[in-house]
Chains A and B, each alone.
Chain A
């Protein structure tokens, strides 16, 4: 990857520290280098100037010695000079470039000043050269001309053009009679420069390192919290909401941390809410499934009933013909007997025969009634139509259906029907189904030789328009426990053992009464008995008593 790309993959810390440190190093090096350079320069200049001064003074002091060629004087001077620190060597030359006196070690072969050079030397102000002699020493060689004042006899003779003293008014002119050569060791200077450089480097390093450390410290105020944020975010992305960002700073990062925590909080809440909604959804689904099951059960029940109704209708029709035959012949025989057997000739046997046939007629008539009721029930339970209904009649018919069963269980019925009961819009078959259900339940709950009471009552005060009809079915059986009372109309709820009853009866009854805009309720005292109360509203229909359907009698 390109350098540019590499740059962005480095950690924050590196990207922060490296450039700054780098720049710092560069600056320090530049500044340090500059300062050291200046220092070196000044050291050198110092050396040069002191060397200049020394050589000049030496030159002045050596004038007489050179003039009079006094070696010892010159040596003394040189010795004194030589004692100065840093003086490697000092040489005094005469004009012929002969060494008049020398102190210190000097290369023999290096730049012997010849006359020409001397003259040149005298012209220039400060001959300075730096060299490393073959002793390995670094020396600054400074020369100074030894001058003497001389009266001018013949300028041209001296070959001096110009000269040091350019004033034409003077009689005197400076003449070069020799030169001084001073070799100063650069050792000290070098040492000082070395020291300065080292110091600079050390300082630079210290500064850089401490800056590095400081920067690291400072930047961790950013990188450490960022790392923590990354960690917590990672945990959250895996669903773990337990960690909170623990950052104590009060700065922008601290704010980021606290708002981040708030975000975690609200994320957690959202997730919890979603989980709860899920749970609720599941509960709702279960509830809805129950409702659907209930509706299905009711549907199955009404289908069954419809099937039974059709069966009943078929059977009833089948029965009608034989019944017609039985009833017809019985009646016919009785008539014939009445016609052909006069009163006086009636023997005991004949009377009993007449009685027998009467009984046949009566029972056949009874069958007819049952079949008719059955037909009516099946017809109306198949239809969903409401029509004006005399509830008392519906109750009485129901009784006729279950009479036999009740008698089998030695139950007695007490019926108390309000004769002023107004008609009600109803589906007779369905209501009879409800009555049957309640009566059978009452029977199952009761001991033999107990009674069941049925009461019908008209209350003008109940309900909205025209009042309502109240029907009560009371038994003196085992009763219903309080905690079961509210569940009793639920589908599939039964306290009977498995196989006895599906628990659907009351829920279907409940549905039927509800469809009639009515109410069904229950009261019970365990051990004493139960009362079911049905309230059906009377619509705004005219109260007529002519509800007797024409039946053949």
Chain B
């Protein structure tokens, strides 16, 4: 990164282990955590993040809704979807909703890092 400002990432997943892992792996960034869709939307209402990483299958408000909300609120919002559901349908739907990348669980750390970098560079 050539940018001096630390970029903010919102991580949305109902699994604690995933949130923690992502937080560790992305420790160099300004990481915020949301444990479900509702919290994610609440946070998005308050501020914009450089990147949103979200799971799809969550109780009450699903990841798709989070993606849509984020993109509607901030048209250039970068969103990465991480999910165990990696069927063609799910992936294409996520892209249609506005995600810029899709990672299937379980993911490799290297791939995650690369995707995050690409997404943030796209935002910059």
A residues apposed to B, CB below 8 Å = 316-317, 320-325, 327-329, 331-332, 335, 364, 368, 379, 552-553
Say which residue of B18, B21, B24, B104 sits within 8 Å of A552 (CB atoms): B104
Contact between chains at A327 and B106 (CB < 8 Å): yes
Cα distance A323–B108 when bound, in Å?
11
Residue of B at shortest CB range from A325?
B17
**Chain A to chain B contacts (Cβ below 8 Å), 6 pairs:** A317-B85, A323-B106, A324-B105, A324-B106, A552-B104, A553-B108
Provided the pairs A323-B106, A328-B21 are in contact, do residues A552 and B15 lie with their beta carbons within 8 angstroms?
A: no
Scoring B25, B84, B106, B112 by chain A CB atoms within 10 A of each residue's CB, the highest score goes to B106
B12-32: which have CB < 8 Å to A? 15, 17-18, 20-22, 24-25
Selected from B18, B87, B109, the residue in CB contact (under 8 A) with A331 is B109
Q: A320-B106, A322-B17, A552-B107 known; 19 other A-B pairs, CB under 8 Å?
A: A316-B84, A317-B57, A321-B15, A321-B18, A324-B107, A325-B15, A325-B20, A327-B108, A328-B18, A328-B21, A328-B106, A328-B112, A331-B109, A332-B109, A335-B110, A368-B106, A552-B104, A552-B106, A552-B108
What are the interface flags for B92-124 relative to A under an 8 Å C-beta threshold, 1 for contact and 0 otherwise? 000000000001111111111000000000000
Residues of A close to B112: CB separation below 8 A? 328
Q: Count contacts between A and B, CB distance < 8 Å.
A: 60
CB-CB < 8 A to A331: which residues of B? Answer: 108-110
Number of interface residues of B (CB under 8 A): 23
User: Smallest Cβ distance from A162 to chain B, in angstroms?
Assistant: 163
Residue of B nearest to A553 (CB): B108
Report whether B106 and A332 are in contact in the complex, using a CB–CB cutoff of 8 Å. Answer: no
Taking a contact as CB atoms under 8 Å apart, the answer to whether A328 and B107 are in contact is yes
Residues of B within 8 A of A (CB): 15, 17-18, 20-22, 24-25, 57, 84-87, 103-112
Query: Which 5 residue pairs are nearest across A and B when measured between Cβ atoms?
Result: A325-B17, A324-B106, A320-B84, A331-B109, A328-B21
* Alpha-carbon distance A316/B85, docked complex (angstroms): 10
Residues in chain A near residue B109, CB distance under 8 A: 328, 331-332, 335
A320-B108 contact given A325-B18, A329-B21, CB 8 Å threshold: no
Say whether B105 contacts A320, CB under 8 Å: yes
Q: How far is the CA of A171 from the CA of B17 in the complex (A)?
A: 194
- Nearest B-chain residue to A330, judged by Cβ: B109
Complex CA gap A335/B104 in Å reads 21
Across-interface contacts of B106 in A (CB, < 8 A)? 320, 323-324, 327-328, 364, 368, 552
* Complex contacts, B20 vs chain A, CB 8 Å: 325
- Assembly CA distance A379 to B90 (angstroms): 14
- A328 to B105: give the CA distance in the assembly, Å: 10
Contact residues in A for B110 (Cβ distance below 8 Å): 331, 335
**Which B residue sits closest to A320, measured CB to CB?**
B84
Which residue of chain B is the closest to A327 with respect to CB atoms? B106
Q: Is the CB of B107 within 8 A of A317?
A: no
Give A4 to B106 CA distance when docked, in angstroms: 110
Contacting residues, chain A, for B107 (C-beta < 8 A): 324, 327-328, 552
A553 CB to closest chain B CB (Å) equals: 8
CA distance A332 to B86 in the complex (A): 23
Docked pose: A329 CA to B57 CA in angstroms: 22
Kindly provide the distance from the CB of A16 to the nearest chain B CB, expressed in whole angstroms: 100
Instruction: Return B59 CB to nearest CB of chain A, in Å.
Output: 14
Q: How far is the CA of A325 from the CA of B107 in the complex (A)?
A: 9
Using CB atoms, name the residue of chain B closest to A316. Answer: B84
Closest chain A residue to B13, Cβ basis: A321
Which one of B20, B105, B111 has the greatest number of beta carbons of chain A within 10 Å? Answer: B105
Residues of A within 8 A of B18 (CB): 321, 324-325, 328
Contact (Cβ within 8 A) B17 A324: yes
Cβ–Cβ contact B84 & A552, under 8 A: no
**A312 nearest CB across to chain B (Å):** 13
Min CB gap B95→A, angstroms? 15
Closest residue of chain B to A364, judged by CB? B106
Q: How far is the CA of A329 from the CA of B22 in the complex (A)?
A: 9
Distance in angstroms between the alpha carbons of A332 and B20 in the assembled complex: 12
| Measured CA separation A320–B17 after assembly (Å) | 11
Bound: A364/B105 CA distance, A: 12
Bound Cα distance A553, B110 (Å): 11
Chain A hits for B17, CB < 8 A: 321-322, 324-325
Contacts of A327 in B (CB 8 A): 106-108
> Which chain A residue has the least Cβ–Cβ distance from B14?
A321
Q: How far is the CA of A397 from the CA of B84 in the complex (A)?
A: 20
From B83, which residue of chain A is reached at the shortest CB distance?
A320
Tell me the smallest distance from the CB of A499 to a CB of chain B, in Å: 38
> Residue on B with the closest CB to A328?
B21
Q: Is the Cβ of B108 less than 8 Å from the Cβ of A332?
A: no
Are A321 and B84 within 8 A (Cβ)? yes
Check A317–B111 contact: CB distance below 8 A.
Answer: no
CB-based nearest B residue for A379: B87
Report how far A379 CA is from B57 CA in the complex, Å. 17
Cβ contacts under 8 Å, A323 to chain B: 105-106
Nearest CB on A from B35, distance (A): 13
Most B CB atoms within 10 A — which of A320, A329, A368? A320
From residue B86, how far is it (CB to closest CB) to chain A in Å? 8
Q: Point out the residues of chain A lying under 8 angstroms from B25, CB to CB.
A: 328, 332
> How far, in Å, is A548 (CB) from chain B's closest CB?
15
A337 shortest CB reach to chain B, Å: 13
Contacting pair A325 B21 (CB below 8 A): yes
Cα A364 to Cα B107 in complex, Å, equals 11
Instruction: Report the minimum CB–CB distance from A533 to chain B (whole Å).
Output: 34
Q: How far is the CB of B1 from chain A (nearest CB, A)?
A: 17
The answer for the CA separation of A364 and B17 in the assembled complex, in Å, is 15
Task: Write the nearest CB–CB distance from B57 to chain A, whole angstroms.
Answer: 7
CB distance from B58 to the nearest CB of A (A): 11
In whole angstroms, how far apart are the Cα atoms of A379 and B87 in the complex? 10
Q: With the chains together, A324 CA to B103 CA distance in Å? A: 12
A327 to B105, CA, bound (A): 10
Chain A nearest CB, measured from B107 CB (Å)? 7
Residues on A with C-beta less than 8 A from B86 are: 552
